[in-house]
Structure 1
Amino acid sequence: MVSVALAKPLDPCESPAPFSLLVPVYRGDSAHRVRRAIDSNTHEQTRPPAQVVIVRDGPVPQEITDELDRISAASAVPVVRVELEHNAGLTNALNTGLLWCSHDVVARADADDISYPDRFERQLPLIEAGADLVGASMHEIGDDETTPLALRQAPVGRSEIARVAKRRNPISHPSVVFRRSAVEAVGGYEHVPMAEDYWLWARMLHAGADVRNVSEPLVGYRVSAGSYERRGGPRVFLAEMALQWKLRRLGYVGFIQWATNVIVRGGYRFVPLKARETAYRFMVGHRNS
């Protein structure tokens, strides 16, 4: 079993720790949303990052390239652009990006979401107090980011996070700030189709990492008409079974919990779309915002 070294809390007399922002971008993103994501995570923040690392995961349309050029030229925060020749997927993009992060504390953001202005001001004190990973609740948003559609309520407290993690992902990936050393201690991101984040958090929890959530929504998470459709079908079912087998082999879930997950989470992939949306919203603590 891999263990995570306990973080040393920041001395109150020391200056706040600088941190890097890690954002992957790929051809399916929108140039406008890339700009909004970067703006909301840098100069709009009450506590901005000290570095931005943008990983271009393979070729992108010219409009995204042009937008990245403008971001790099205008940013008051140093920007590192890592350009991968081929689209190799999120796992590879994130692991590569981590190599370019200058700071041990790393905040994640997706290229089509937004962060609220006090996100890092709310999360970083928990990291500085000794946490290894801090997530947050999120609003679901559409094109109008000022009108939330629903709330994804994060579980709060170590015991509640640990309980929820046996059944589903307890941490929303676009909301996390973590210590890179704690992530690297368990081997970093590993390729698990559509669940590389959940698999990483499970390994960190299993190794004794200090994982927390902020109850308030700090991120606006974009949803589209196809969001719930993509959560079903044979391909997603097979990915779910691969994840559950890994959790079982790790010893993170016992046989009864594993069998329950296989039946419930596996069966969920084949229910009608509307029922799948309703079930997912119930499972992750959704409520109308």
Structure 2
Amino acid sequence: MSDKENISIVMPAYNAGKFIRESINSVLAQTYDDWRLYIVDDASTDETAAIIKQIKDDRVEYTLLEYNAGVANARNIAIEKAQGNYIAFLDSDDLWEKDKLERQVGLLEHGYDVVCGNYSTFLADPNNAISIRTSPIEFNYHDMLSCNRIGNLTGIYNRNSLGKFYQEHCGHEDYLMWLSVMKAAKRAACVQDVIARYRLSENSLSANKLVAAKWQWHIYRNKMLLSLPDSLYYWLRYASIALGRKFFNYN
């Protein structure tokens, strides 16, 4: 293995002591091992640092920030440090299936710029899925405008062909980044099996849908600079999909 990793993994952490060991273990268990995990601790006040320092693996790089500046800032510091050909993301309470990276690298090496995968959601027990989130086998930027096809915990992109993408301090910061990635990408694919598990919280279950809708509109108009008719078209599609998920289990 060369000094430069093939895959750079971005993991922000803040007071993540309860779950971060599980998340790191899911990376350590990967069948594909040419990676480096960049953990950026956003000035945690719990046992996060102590847990990470127990990890005895040279592929895990830990950075502790002096002050809390938010998840986008933590991810951006890790992205800046990343040297790999590919950049992937995992939050400090989510989990990967052990063959996640291996399956995605296979697609990336066959010409895809972006690869995501299906994932499950859960509350307490990772084996007790509440829902399965799926995406089409292939999709494009216009598909992404209607619905976020890339769960951040499953997404990986080719840094060599696309460059680096950073996150802004705004609502739906990960979605905005992936929109920018997809606008630059030529080909994107989704692994049609569950390759990751997303931990829900009580906050995520009770999230203010009106606020989320406002964030979505802001992204269309102020970030992606869509016209008013296009913004309205995609916002209505977004809203209809969101309502379908909530009331009819539409995926």
TM-score exceeds 0.5 = yes
- The 1:175/1:87 distance shift into structure 2, 3 A limit, reads same
Q: Which residue of 2 aligns with 1:25?
A: 13
Instruction: Give 1:62's aligned residue.
Output: 46
Q: Distance in 1 between matches of 2:169 and 2:239?
A: 16
More divergent stretch after superposition (112-121 vs 175-184): 175-184
Alpha-carbon contact 1:240-1:266 (below 8 Å) kept: no
Contact 2:217 2:231 in 1 (8 A): no
SS in structure 2 of the partner of residue 93 of structure 1: helix
Q: Judge conservation of contact 2:113–2:185 (CA < 8 Å) in 1.
A: no
Q: Is 2:193 the counterpart of 1:213?
A: no
Spell out the pairing of 1:29-40 with structure 2 (5 A cutoff).
29=16, 31-40=17-26
**Contact 2:86-2:159 within 8 A present in 1 as well:** yes
Report if aligned partners of 2:114, 2:185 keep a CA contact under 8 Å in 1: no
Match of 1:156 in 2: 137
Which residue of structure 1 aligns with residue 72 of structure 2? Answer: 91
Q: Secondary structure at the match of 2:37?
A: strand
Deviation per CA, 1:122-154, whole angstroms, max 9, x where unpaired?
A: 111111222222110101122111222210012
- Segments of structure 2 that go 5 or more residues without pairing to the other structure are none
* Matches of 1:20 and 1:268, distance apart in 2: 32
Contact 2:146 2:237 (8 Å CA) reproduced? no
- For residues 50 and 236 of structure 1, do their structure 2 counterparts lie closer, same or farther at Cα, with a shift above 3 Å needed? closer
Unaligned runs of 5+ in 1: 1-16, 270-274
Which of 231, 234, 238 matches 1:258? 231
Note the alpha carbon deviations across 1:57-93, whole angstroms, 9 max, x for none.
2x2123111101112xx22x42211222222222222
TM-score (norm 2): 0.86
Distance 1:163 1:279, change over 3 A: farther
SS of 1:173's equivalent?
coil
| Equivalent in the alignment of 1:191 | 168
| Residue type at the aligned position of 2:69 | A
Count matched residues: 247
Deviation at 1:176, TM superposition (A): 1.3
CA RMSD after TM alignment: 2.7
> Of residues 227, 243, 246 in structure 2, which corresponds to 1:278?
246
Match of 2:158 among 179, 200, 225: 179
| Aligned mates of 1:179, 1:61 — CA distance in 2 | 34
Q: Deviations over 1:40-66 (max 9, x none)?
A: 012x11113432211112x21231111
Identity over aligned pairs, percent: 21
Letter aligned with residue 246 of structure 2: T
Specify whether residues 246 and 184 from structure 1 end up closer, same or farther in structure 2 by C-alpha distance, changes over 3 A only: farther
1:217-263 CA-to-partner distances (Å, cap 9, x unmatched) read 10011112331321424x434322211213651x5xx6544213445
For 2:205 and 2:128, the matched residues in 1 are separated by 20
Contact in 1 for aligned 2:141/2:183 (Cα 8 Å): no
Q: Report the residue type matching 2:171 in the other structure.
A: M
1:167 equivalent in alignment to 2:149: no
1:128 and 1:135 map into 2 onto residues whose CA distance is 14
Q: Indicate which of 27, 45, 57 corresponds to 1:41.
A: 27
Q: Alignment partner for residue 239 of structure 1, among 215, 235, 238?
A: 215
